[in-house]
Amino acid sequence: MQRPIRKLLLASSLVFAASQSYAFEPSRTAECIAPANPGGGWDFTCRSVGKVLTDLKYIEGNVQTVNMPGAGGGVAFAHTVSKREGDESLIVAASTATTTRLAQGQFAGLNSDQVRWVGALGADYGVIAVASDSPYKSLNELFAAIKEEPTSVKFGGGSAAGGWDHLKVLIAAKADGVENLPKIKYLAYNGGAEAITQVVGGHIQAFTGDVSEVLGFVESGDLRVLAVMSEERLPGEYAGMPTAVEQGIQAIAPNWRGFYLPAGISDDAYNWWTETVDGIYASDEWKAVMQQNGLMPFHKSGEEFTTFVNQQVQDIRDLSIEIGLIK
């Protein structure tokens, strides 16, 4: 049942124009479902955004984080679809892991059209790296070796086979014209650090993961980044890392952090949440959160974000079919 919507007195410190007028008036309190146990990425997304929502007076009361683990986000997705339709004070944390599981049919017949996608507030971009003494000096050289002999390079990452770390390699390889993608070797480890250790030790040839996982190893001289899978070079300490795009490989792989809303909410409520996400992303408070937690610039909202999510789901589905992961 939809919660009653109570009047919120908007404070003068709102980031977006206080003159915006909606028939919808946000609830005094809000709820954010983190589809995992405390301590992970989705939990961070809920708690950090919830704090900014209250600090900037978008929500006058509090934003309660509710942890709802299970099925890699599937329990929370099913709960939102079946029990929370029309709830305008609910947001649910999501990421590329969400779209990957939707694409691969892991949410028991549920699909991306059954919720409303509101926006993303940063990302951790994919990266491919090798040991500092590796003979491969560029992503082009690495894929040239794979084109000559698909099993010559073993990749390691922290996700299961068919998961996001594995798919990053396949996205880049396909963009460079590599054929027979199922023959590319990928080994799953218990986290990115373990996979990096295997690369540095010479047991496998390349690491695939997120850029935030490699910085310390690059600074220590143990790893060489062949490519970051972002549209352009990342800022600050990551600026020295080349992109796949600048090497002629159109491979973009952001592990974005964002939210979806229940279906059945009014357009006014959806527009309020969309503009609120825009305001949060533009705020100094959120910029500080991103800097402190290694989030890179990435922002889409509203219909643009919905289009992006649906395309990402389709691309991952097509790739998963191509490698025989799903039918």
* pLDDT of amino acid 23: 62
Element (H, E) at 312: helix 302-322
The amino acid sitting at 195 is A
Per-residue buried b or exposed e for 125-160, using 16+ beta carbons within 10 Å of the residue's own CB = bbbbbbbeebebeebbebbeebeeebeebebbbbbe
The CATH number corresponding to 30-123+255-322 among 3.40.605.10, 3.40.50.1460, 3.40.190.150, 2.160.10.10 equals 3.40.190.150
- Find the helix packing angle between 164-175 and 302-322, rounded to 10°: 80
What is d(CA 172, CA 146) in angstroms, rounded to the nearest whole number? Answer: 12
* pLDDT of amino acid 52: 97
Helices (H), 113-256: 139-148, 164-175, 192-200, 215-219
What is d(CA 261, CA 272) in angstroms, rounded to the nearest whole number? Answer: 12
pTM of the model: 0.85
* pLDDT of amino acid 160: 87
Taking only the tens of pLDDT, the chain with its 327 residues reads 444 333 333 333 333 333 344 567 888 899 999 999 998 889 999 999 999 999 999 999 999 999 999 999 999 999 999 999 999 999 999 999 999 999 999 998 899 999 999 999 999 999 999 999 999 999 999 999 999 999 999 999 998 899 999 999 999 999 999 998 999 999 999 889 999 999 999 999 999 999 989 999 999 999 999 999 999 999 989 999 999 999 999 999 999 999 999 999 999 999 999 999 999 999 999 999 999 888 999 999 999 999 999 999 999 999 999 989 898
Domain boundaries, the chain: 30-123+255-322, 124-247
Pull the structure tokens for residue 308: 């992006």
Is 173 in contact with 184 (CB distance < 8 Å)? yes
Range 151-155 contact pairs with CB under 8 angstroms and sequence separation of 24 or more:
151/183, 151/184, 151/185, 152/205, 153/184, 153/185, 153/205, 153/206, 154/185, 154/186, 154/187, 154/204, 154/205, 154/206, 155/128, 155/184, 155/185, 155/186, 155/187, 155/204, 155/205, 155/206, 155/207, 155/208
* pLDDT of amino acid 21: 45
Classify domain 124-247 at the CATH class level.
alpha beta
